[in-house]
């Protein structure tokens, strides 16, 4: 069995276009969530975490001159994100040894708008068409793998990438997760009454819903320890599970998430005492955060420093798992725990250790989890070499 | 360890086959909605939530239902060791368009949560997981068409890592008037919980998946 290393993180979010820029904003305590009263996404004003499209277009024009018209907004994010990740690694994306995994919930869903559809063609709404455009841009010879499994898509991408490398099927896997802010998504979540009127406050007593975000994240995984320029982090393993309880509401018992965590720890050969930090899903809805707290508590992880990054960049759906794992890898390499933005007063019934201030701490092993619609959960464990 | 196909089920052209033999066919051929309801009744399914589902979930749900008729997978394996790994081509585009119709005009703006929740392809897997209490890995991958290698690789690796001991995997596709599904029930040969079949086991491998696909769909 081959060891699997991970690195070369890129993050495109409301906090910037690189991992460095995002981390620097997180360290400063900046949040990318702002009131949007443009009316584009919803009839009334709402807090959202938006990528700066003007800057995105500028960066894209600088990276791929003269090709702006060929790609949708989300495709541009994917292309920029993967390009930046590749620059931090020496792997070859055109090699048959390299697989690309795209994770997304809604892909080019903005193309439901007839005007945009005229520009790009209806075919582009299909996720496999969008993925082909991305893989074609990079001349990757393999059939791209696409995971669309609600909000756990990104974590599953990492879990499957690890398995594919470990079993020797590929030397390198690039996992890139992206989702766009759209009227489609905002109206749907609003109809569920799950959006907060203020920036979301994961695990806080006064939390009252989530904040939607958009963005793209990329991580490269490889069996070659020399594939990355900086400190080596290994992906030890991960697993998925289902609550088998409700399609749109989290389990009251945390059973599904608990099973995913336990399975991930078994596969990784890690006991709870060895986990130094947790990057939770933490959407800031009442039921979700409570469910997560129960699951972490059942898994014996009450004392492990934990955060949710959604107070900084909102819920980025199919991108969330990859973006948040990318932040976690940086946190491990820097030996720095990042404050869980929005958390002031403990608001879940179980004891968990939500991080209140940035602090230095040796982080060797980190657990990343996600949960989503359809009752799905996933967990993956990273460890510094 | 070798993986075997215990059973397979296909649905296409108003016809449901189990292990290659017709289990139900609707001579009316009067569109997907009528067909899937007739099939639901034919298999004496008692699950009123079925009628709330979107077409993709109905197809996925009923495919799993027919595949597992007479099986007792959830009682045989630990609850977290049975998984559902599905592939699909059009994601939830059918219901996405329905949601879009409720928001495209601000004067007639009525987005509905009962519709929006189905705008994710993995909801069909979630529905089947709830029905059969499968708590294992539960994944939907998108491919342009039936991709035997993809279905095999992801399922095989989930067994190899020890994540799963039994799995329902395959292809469920529905958009506009087109629908087709082909699901496989996969178990480990020699596993203590597996009830051996009398005839030769069919080995779970890409070439077999492709052969069955060509024969069924």
pLDDT at residue A335, rounded to an integer: 98
Q: Which of A338, A321, A305 is nearest to A151 (CA)?
A: A321
Of A148, A169, A244, the CB nearest to B133: A244
Backbone angles phi, psi at A116, to 5 degrees: -70, -35
B 26-55 residues with CB < 8 A to A: none
Any CB–CB contact under 8 A between B136 and chain A? Answer: yes
pLDDT at residue A312, rounded to an integer: 98
Average pLDDT over residues A196-225: 97
Average pLDDT over residues B46-65: 97
Q: Tell me how close the Cα of A246 comes to any Cα of chain B, in angstroms.
A: 7
Tell me the chain A residues in contact with residue B89 when contact means C-beta distances shorter than 8 Å.
Answer: 126, 128
**pLDDT band (50, 70, 90) for residue B46:** very high
Residue B198 has pLDDT above 60, yes or no: no
Q: Taking CB atoms and an 8 Å limit, are B135 and A244 in contact across chains?
A: yes
pLDDT per residue over A247-261, tens digit each? 888 888 999 999 999
Of B111, B141, B161, the CB nearest to A191: B111
Ramachandran assignment for B138, one of left (phi > 0), alpha (psi -120 to 50 degrees), beta (any other):
beta
Q: How far apart are CA A93 and CA A8, in angstroms?
A: 13
Q: How far apart are CA B59 and CA B40, in angstroms?
A: 10
Token pair for A50:
């938006």
Average pLDDT over residues A242-249: 91
A136 membership: H or E segment, kind and range: helix A127-137
> Does domain A235-384 match CATH 3.50.50.60?
no
Question: Which CA distances in Å does B124 have to B40, B73, B89, B143, B182?
Answer: 16, 18, 14, 16, 14
Average pLDDT over residues A19-44: 97
Tell me the chain B residues in contact with residue A245 when contact means C-beta distances shorter than 8 Å.
Answer: 130
Q: Taking CB atoms and an 8 Å limit, are B142 and A148 in contact across chains?
A: yes
Q: How far apart are CA B170 and CA A201, in angstroms?
A: 40
**Residues ≥6 apart with Cβ < 8 Å to B67:** B7, B8, B9, B18, B168, B183, B185
Q: Tell me how close the Cα of A261 comes to any Cα of chain B, in angstroms.
A: 11
**pLDDT band (50, 70, 90) for residue A96:** very high
Average pLDDT over residues B48-61: 97
pLDDT at residue A231, rounded to an integer: 78
pLDDT per residue over B203-215, tens digit each? 999 999 999 999 9
- Chain A to chain B, count of Cβ pairs less than 8 Å apart? 165
Residue B199 has pLDDT above 80, yes or no: no
Residue A314 has pLDDT above 90, yes or no: yes
**Residues ≥6 apart with Cβ < 8 Å to B121:** A148, A149, B56, B86, B88, B91, B92, B140, B142
Q: Which residue of B has its CA nearest to A167?
A: B157
Lowest mean pLDDT among B19-23, B27-31, B53-57: B27-31
Q: Taking CB atoms and an 8 Å limit, are B89 and A106 in contact across chains?
A: no
**pLDDT band (50, 70, 90) for residue B200:** low
Of B111, B126, B161, the CB nearest to A375: B126
Percent of chain A with pLDDT over 90: 96
pLDDT per residue over A271-301, tens digit each? 999 999 999 999 999 999 999 999 999 999 9
Tell me the chain A residues in contact with residue B126 when contact means C-beta distances shorter than 8 Å.
Answer: 242, 247, 373-376
pLDDT at residue A309, rounded to an integer: 98
**pLDDT band (50, 70, 90) for residue B196:** low
* CATH fold group of domain B2-91+121-216: Peroxisomal Thiolase; Chain A, domain 1 (3.40.47)
Q: Taking CB atoms and an 8 Å limit, are A112 and B80 in contact across chains?
A: no
pLDDT at residue A1, rounded to an integer: 76
**Residue B63: alpha-carbon gap to chain centroid:** 5
Average pLDDT over residues A73-79: 98
Mean pLDDT for all residues in chain B: 93
Burial of B44 (0-12, 13-18, 19+ CB in 10 A): exposed
* CATH fold group of domain A5-227: Peroxisomal Thiolase; Chain A, domain 1 (3.40.47)
User: For residue A123, what is the DSSP state?
Assistant: G
Q: Whats the size of chain B, residue-wise? A: 217
B 72-131 residues with CB < 8 A to A: 79-80, 83-84, 89-91, 93, 96-97, 99-100, 102-104, 106, 109, 111-113, 116-117, 119-123, 125-127, 129-130
pLDDT per residue over A107-142, tens digit each? 999 999 999 999 999 999 999 999 999 999 999 999
Instruction: Choose, out of A147, A244, A381, the residue to mutate when testing the contact with B (most B CBs < 10 Å).
Output: A244
pLDDT per residue over B87-141, tens digit each? 999 999 999 999 999 999 988 899 999 999 999 999 999 999 999 999 999 999 9
Question: Which CA distances in Å does B149 have to A56, A198, B210?
Answer: 36, 46, 9
pLDDT at residue B1, rounded to an integer: 73
Q: Tell me how close the Cα of B179 comes to any Cα of chain A, in angstroms.
A: 16
In the block, residue with structure tokens 């596709």: B173
Q: Which residue of B has its CA nearest to A255?
A: B135
Q: Would you say A311 and A342 are in contact if contact means Cβ atoms under 8 Å apart?
A: yes
pLDDT at residue B197, rounded to an integer: 58
Tell me the chain A residues in contact with residue B163 when contact means C-beta distances shorter than 8 Å.
Answer: 239-240, 263, 267
Domain ranges of chain A: 5-227, 235-384
Q: Which of B210, B187, B200, B183 is nearest to B8 (CA)?
A: B183
Burial of A318 (0-12, 13-18, 19+ CB in 10 A): buried
Q: Would you say A320 and A364 are in contact if contact means Cβ atoms under 8 Å apart?
A: no
Question: Which CA distances in Å does A225 have to A159, A233, A381?
Answer: 18, 9, 18
User: Which value does ipTM take for this structure?
Assistant: 0.97
pLDDT at residue A206, rounded to an integer: 98
Q: Taking CB atoms and an 8 Å limit, are B134 and A256 in contact across chains?
A: no
Q: Which residue of B has its CA nearest to A237?
A: B161
Q: How far apart are CA B205 and CA B148, in angstroms?
A: 8
């Amino acid at each position: 069995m081959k060891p699997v290393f991970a690195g070369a993180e890129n993050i495109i979010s409301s906090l910037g276009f690189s991992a460095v820029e995002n981390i620097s904003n997180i360290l400063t305590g900046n949040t990318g969530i702002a009131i949007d009263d443009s009316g584009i996404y919803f009839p009334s004003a709402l807090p959202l975490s938006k990528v700066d499209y003007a800057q995105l277009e500028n960066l894209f024009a600088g990276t791929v001159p003269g090709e702006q018209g060929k790609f949708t907004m989300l495709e541009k994010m994917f292309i920029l994100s993967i390009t930046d990740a590749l620059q931090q690694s020496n792997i070859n994306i055109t090699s048959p040894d390299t697989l690309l995994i795209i994770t997304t919930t809604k892909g080019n869903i903005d193309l439901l708008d007839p005007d945009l559809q005229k520009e790009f063609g209806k075919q582009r709404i299909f996720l496999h068409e969008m993925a082909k455009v991305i893989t074609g841009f990079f001349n990757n010879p393999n059939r791209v793998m696409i995971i669309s499994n609600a909000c756990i898509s990104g974590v599953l991408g990492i879990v499957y990438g690890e398995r594919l490398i470990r079993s020797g099927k590929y030397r390198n896997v690039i996992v890139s997760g992206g989702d766009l802010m759209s009227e489609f998504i905002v109206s749907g979540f609003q109809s569920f009454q799950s959006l907060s009127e203020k920036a979301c406050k994961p695990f806080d007593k006064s939390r009252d819903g989530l904040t939607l975000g958009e963005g793209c994240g990329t991580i490269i995984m490889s069996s070659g320890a020399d594939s990355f320029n900086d400190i080596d982090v290994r992906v030890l393993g991960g697993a998925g599970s289902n609550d088998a309880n409700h399609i749109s509401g989290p389990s009251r018992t945390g059973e599904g998430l608990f099973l995913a965590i336990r399975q991930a720890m078994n596969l990784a050969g890690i006991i709870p005492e060895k986990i130094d930090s947790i990057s939770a899903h933490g959407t800031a809805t009442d039921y979700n955060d409570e469910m997560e707290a129960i699951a972490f508590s059942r898994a014996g992880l009450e004392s492990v420093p934990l955060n949710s990054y959604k107070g900084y960049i909102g819920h980025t759906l199919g991108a969330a798992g990859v973006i948040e794992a990318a932040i976690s890898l940086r946190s491990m390499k820097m030996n720095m725990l990042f404050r869980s933005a929005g958390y002031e007063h403990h608001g879940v019934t179980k004891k968990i250790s939500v991080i209140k201030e940035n602090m230095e701490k040796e982080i060797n092993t980190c657990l990343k989890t996600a949960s989503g619609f359809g009752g799905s959960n996933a967990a993956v464990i990273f460890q510094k070499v | 360890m070798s993986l075997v196909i215990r059973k397979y089920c296909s649905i296409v052209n108003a016809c449901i086959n189990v292990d290659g033999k017709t289990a139900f066919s609707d001579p009316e051929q009067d569109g997907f909605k009528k067909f899937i309801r007739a099939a639901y009744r034919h298999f004496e399914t008692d699950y009123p939530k079925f009628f709330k589902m979107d077409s993709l979930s109905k197809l996925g749900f009923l495919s799993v239902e027919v595949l597992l008729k007479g099986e007792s997978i959830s009682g045989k394996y630990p609850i977290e060791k049975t998984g559902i790994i599905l592939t699909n081509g059009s994601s939830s585009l059918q219901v996405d368009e329905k949601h879009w119709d409720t928001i495209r005009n601000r004067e007639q703006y009525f987005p509905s949560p009962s519709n929006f929740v189905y705008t994710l392809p993995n909801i069909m897997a979630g529905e089947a997981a709830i029905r059969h209490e499968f708590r294992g890995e539960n994944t939907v991958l998108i491919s342009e068409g039936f991709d035997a290698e993809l279905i095999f690789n992801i399922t095989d690796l989930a067994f190899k890592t020890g994540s799963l001991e039994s799995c329902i995997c395959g292809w469920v596709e529905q958009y506009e008037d087109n629908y087709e599904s082909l699901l496989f029930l996969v178990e480990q040969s020699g596993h203590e919980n597996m009830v051996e079949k009398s005839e030769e086991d069919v080995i779970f491998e890409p070439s077999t998946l492709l052969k069955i696909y060509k024969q069924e769909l």
